[in-house]
Every structure is written in structure tokens, then in C-alpha cells.
Structure 1
């Protein structure tokens, strides 16, 4: 019995749900790298990096091979880099939308014409407080 496509997609996105795995994939976009180079850039213990690489390997997102004494890792397909680029674009659009919403909220909080803005230090005080 095969897994439904939506379930397979959910598993793919769960695989991407760890910052170390995302960082590894970002670094591998420039080409294959040995584990030691990944360790030099990613601030984690070697055992943690090994675990995260194993997850990426099992998910088919990275491939590994030996080059003499070095274990080299690479993206399994250029589509992984495309997915990361799409994630960056989506995040940029979401953050832009949030910035636009924040600007709109700030514009709406400008005092109405004829009302005086609250003096510094009076924010949140009750009328007549301190009298």
C-alpha cells in the first residue's frame, strides 16, 4: 500500500523543519562539501550534525560518497536548491506583507485631527491618575 501524496509531502516538509538541516542544505548549494567543512561553519557537535545528515540522506535530499578519507555530501537534485529558493521568496513575501500590515496599523493609530497626542510617559495612564 503506497503513502498518499499529501502524506509524503508532509514528511518532506517535516524533514525541512530543523534549522541545522536547512543550514546544511544551504551550504551544499555551492557544491559538495566534506563533513569537516560543514562542521567548521555550523555550530553543532559532530554527533548532532551526523544525525541531521542521516535524516537528510534517508529523506533523499542529500547524497554522500567517499573521497579518500573524506565523506562528501551533496544535494541529491538541483530541485532541493529550487525549493530553498522558493522558501526564501515565500518568506520574503510574508515578511513584506507583515511589514505592510504593521505600517497600516501604525498609520491607523495616528491621533484624530484636533486631539492632542499623549505626552511622553503618559502612555497607559488613567485620566486623573496621580492627582
Structure 2
């Protein structure tokens, strides 16, 4: 097994770094064998904690990996969400414009018109 360890190790013998291929192979060996992580690590000549970390990282990547077609579905949802937010913003702007237009119409009426309408109401009501 020493020959395999030398091939996997990248860098000097003092800084133990392992290639991605070596890590994948070690993780696959842990998954496919009936040996414990510690036993596989001892056979490969790597730290048991390093191998546990590689297995955990591989499991996390496998669990959270994108499903086929999930990226396209997410893109579709993102596009629809963007479109709906834009539409909502336009509708809010339209409503605000309508409100301000109606307020302007009331404010633009001359005072005499307002006074005339109130005096007409007063004239048409029967006096007691």
C-alpha cells in the first residue's frame, strides 16, 4: 500500500496533501468495503480524521448536489419571480398615479365652484 500512498500524495513528505483523485478513491474504498474508516486510513497511510472529513464532504456534496433538471427549474422560477416583481412594481406605480391624479383633480377645482355647490345645497334645502 505504500506505493499507492506515494502516488496519491502531492507536495513534500512534510506537508501531506492529497490529490482529488486519491481522495475520491479513498472515499469509494470506505463506502465499498466492510472496513471501518480507521482501518482503511491505516491501510492507505492517511490520517483517519482526514479520511473522515473526505467522507463527510463527499456525503454532503452528494446529498445537496443538484438533481437533473433542478437548475433549469430554478432558473424558470427565478425568471417568473423577476417578472412578477416587475409587474407588481408597475401596478403599485399605476395605483399611486391614480391616487395622485384624483387628489390633483380635487385640488385643481376653483374655490368658486366649491362655494357655488355648497350655496346651491343651502338654497335647495327648505327652510323651517
TM-score (norm 2): 0.31
Larger radius of gyration, structure 1 or 2? 2
Higher relative contact order (CA 8 A, sep 6+): 1
